[in-house]
Amino acid sequence: MNSGSDARDDVILEIRDLEVTFHGDDGSVQAADRVSFTVRRGETVAVVGESGSGKSASVLAVLQLLPRSGNVEVRGSVRLDGRELLDADRRTLRAVRGGAVAMIFQDPMTSLNPVVRVGKQLVEMLREHRYPGGRRAAERRAVELLRVVGIPQPELRMRQFPHEFSGGMRQRVMIAMAIANEPSLLIADEPTTALDVTIQAQVLDVLRDAKAATGAAAIVITHDLGVVAELADTVVVMYGGRVVETGSAEEIFAAPRHPYTIGLMAGLPRLDADVDRLVPIPGSPPNLADPPPGCRFHPRCTLRAGRDVCATETPELREIAAGRRSACHFTEEISAEETAAEAARVSELTGVPLTGDGR
């Protein structure tokens, strides 16, 4: 096990008490509320939650990719290799984006310039950070990158436009651009959305191989627990703009310790029974313009059992075991036997092996 100083040296990204608030004519929406987590070198962290949970807003704030206007307020701390990014100037951010940190966006068709050939876009990325005076070297590297991510006939594809690629191939181009400058951190925002299951699996394989080849750490934003099972070492579960549970992927799948996480697991399709409908979490996600008091999950929570503290006091994200944290007043009441039975089913669905003690 690492010593405290070694563990600190191993942290590449540290997010502390991050708050993201959008101000509008009708009021303010706090999309991220005191979000904190760390990413270590070589680690893949999955940020999980329903739409509107604040996961994308939190991670986009890392690179100041939220709209730069008076309508967006960002507070807290985001440190990359010990360097604060929230107060970084444009020159520093320009060097970091696509260099030390690379982003794979959800929709490659809106991320790639539709009227510029794919090869030229790759070359521009390379020349910005690695080959400022060497177009020929950048072009050779661009061809190599397309080959690495499994795009056939890369020399031909270099001359084509984004609309001439399939959705899966466009996502491979985005991965090629992301790893072009060997970043230390990759961020992937819903990398398999709108792709069919077969193409999703191929893209995840490419992403995994690309990450291994560069040695980069990664943050994967997703609502898909299958993606979490495929890629994640650590899971950060968000609900209503807050982090409600963290732990290793194996621990989260084997024994979730927050009612919301248990609800996400229960909503997976079953292979061991003939059911007509999935089991959803009752109710709807909170309106972040007017969130409920106390625990934001309490209106939908089956563990609350009418207890007032859930509706009046905000539960702190506290350590419940080594490397495990949960923001629930009554996490100790969650039955290990019940979660073990649910975990066995989830493990069968996702292929994530359970830890030896189910915790």
- The predicted structure's pLDDT at residue 353: 52
Say if residue 300's pLDDT is above 80.
yes
pTM: 0.86
Compute, in degrees rounded to 10, the torsion defined by CA atoms 222, 233, 12, 71: 20
Say if residue 348's pLDDT is above 70.
no
What would the two tokens of residue 248 be? 């290793």
* DSSP code, position 97: B
Which letter, b or e, does each residue of 126-165 get, where b requires 16 or more Cβ atoms within 10 Å of its Cβ?
Answer: bbbbebeeeeeebbebbbebbebbbbeebeebbeeebeeb
Q: What is the tally of structural domains in the chain?
A: 2
The arrangement of strands across the sheet holding 11-24 comes to 27-40, 11-24, 72-80, 83-84
**Is residue 359 a part of any domain in this protein?**
no
* Residues 326-345, mean pLDDT to the nearest whole number: 71
Question: Could you tell me how many residues make up the chain?
Answer: 359
Domain that holds residue 331: 238-350
Q: Please, which residues have CB within 8 angstroms of residue 217's CB and are 6 or more apart in sequence?
A: 12, 13, 39, 40, 41, 42, 43, 44, 45, 184, 185, 186
Say if residue 356's pLDDT is above 70.
no
- The predicted structure's pLDDT at residue 213: 84
Per-residue pLDDT tens digits for 37-53: 999 999 999 999 988 89
- The predicted structure's pLDDT at residue 343: 52
- The predicted structure's pLDDT at residue 232: 94
**Is residue 157 a part of any domain in this protein?**
yes
Share of the chain above pLDDT 70, in %: 86
Domain boundary among 171, 201, 232: 232
CA distance 111 to 132: 23
The answer on 272 and 213 residing in a single domain is no
The mean predicted confidence, pLDDT, of the chain is 86
Residue 338 DSSP SS3 = helix
Residue 12 phi/psi, 5° resolution?
Answer: -95, -35
- The predicted structure's pLDDT at residue 324: 94
Q: Which residues pair with 14 in a beta bridge?
A: 38, 79
CA distances from 68 to 73, 127, 156, 250 (A): 9, 26, 38, 38
> What is the CB neighbour count within 10 angstroms for residue 311?
14
Per-residue pLDDT tens digits for 204-241: 899 898 888 888 999 999 988 888 988 999 999 999 99
> What is the CATH classification number for the domain harbouring 108?
3.40.50.300
The answer on 249 and 215 residing in a single domain is no
CA distance 34 to 176: 33
**Is residue 356 a part of any domain in this protein?**
no
**Is residue 177 a part of any domain in this protein?**
yes
On the CB side of 153, CA atoms within 13 Å amount to 5
CA distance 340 to 251: 11
Task: Please indicate whether residue 271 or residue 99 has the higher confidence score (pLDDT).
Answer: 99
* pLDDT-based confidence at residue 197 (cuts at 50, 70, 90): confident
- The predicted structure's pLDDT at residue 133: 67
* pLDDT-based confidence at residue 125 (cuts at 50, 70, 90): confident
- The predicted structure's pLDDT at residue 338: 54
Say if residue 354's pLDDT is above 50.
no
Domain boundary among 232, 254, 283: 232
* pLDDT-based confidence at residue 358 (cuts at 50, 70, 90): very low
Comparing 21-25, 36-40, 104-108, 200-204, the range with the smallest average pLDDT is 104-108
The answer on 268 and 220 residing in a single domain is no
**Is residue 196 a part of any domain in this protein?**
yes
Q: Which of 53, 18, 58, 59 is nearest to 286 (CA)?
A: 53
Side chain identity at residue 54, one-letter code:
G
**Is residue 355 a part of any domain in this protein?**
no
Domain boundary among 189, 214, 232: 232
* Residues 156-174, mean pLDDT to the nearest whole number: 93
